Amino acid sequence: MNIVQLRSTIFLQQNIGYTPENAERFKKIIFGDTKGKVYGIVQPGIPVMLGVNPSLPQYGLPWRIFRRFDNGDEYNIAFQMSKIDIVLAKNVPYDNDVELNFCKKSTEYFSRILDTLTPNAIVTRIAYAPLYAFNKSEAELDAFWNNLLRKTVFDGTKSQDINLSFLLKRPFKFGSKPAEINLLHNIFDGTLTINENNIPQVVPVILFQLDLNSVPEVALELAKGDVAAFFQDILETKEDLVANVSK
């Protein structure tokens, strides 16, 4: 199994729309310098105006900072409507240390942002969403689906473009604050580009995404310490869920 992408999210009661001042300010706050590129974020359902480059940030609208580090890590920090996403694109073999380092980095970045927004910033929801890929032979991919589903073959024809989604819920503590979290599973057929002897190849894979998030029905009031506790403790739950699906 490979890690494909990692995402951490906090939900706020305020928007941080794009301005040139915000772009320079938050690059400095998050990274300690002004490196990184700033882009706009196209909003679903909102048409792009003719003659406007959708990658250019627009005043007051959602935007993101893209930063590539010397070790090859590529981070996007997206300031969207009432939430902030931190996304790491990293196609590597499954390794808990990669996710541990990402969660530590997320805690660090979110803490710096919240310090700047204090005392008005309140984190109302929080989420961790890793995306993995099972890169196996066709027979192994079929066996994986057959382990999860029944009747995926009809009259000798195998099902294709399978998309399985299910939700579990469980209690969770954000530091000392009890709450409930959604454990959303999305498992679906997909493709992944890999380099074989420096030659890109597109291979079939099974993509497995978890979205572990506090329930939207209850607005939380999380402080910095609660945010840190979530990203420290959520990995144990994540490991149990991965083991449950992949065994």
Per the listing, tokens 């993509």 go with 207
Residue 96: per-residue pLDDT: 82
> From first to last of its 247 residues, what are the pLDDT tens digits of the chain?
899 999 999 999 888 999 999 999 999 999 999 889 999 997 766 665 555 666 888 888 999 999 999 988 999 999 998 999 999 998 899 988 999 999 999 999 999 999 998 676 789 999 999 999 988 777 888 887 777 776 555 456 666 677 889 899 989 887 777 889 999 999 998 888 877 777 888 888 889 999 999 999 888 889 889 999 999 999 999 999 998 887 6
Residue 78: per-residue pLDDT: 97
Report which of 96, 80, 88, 164 is spatially closest to residue 129, judged by C-alpha positions: 88
Answer yes or no: are the C-beta atoms of 215 and 127 closer than 8 Å: no
CB atoms within 10 A of CB 84: 21
Instruction: Considering only the C-alpha atoms of the chain, give the largest distance between any 2 of them, rounded to a whole number of Å.
Output: 64
Written as one letter, the residue type at 80 is Q
Give the length of the chain: 247
Residue 185: per-residue pLDDT: 92
Distance between CA atoms of residues 115 and 6, nearest Å: 24
Distance between CA atoms of residues 69 and 73, nearest Å: 5
Q: Kindly report the pTM of this predicted structure.
A: 0.89
Tokens of 107: 């805690």
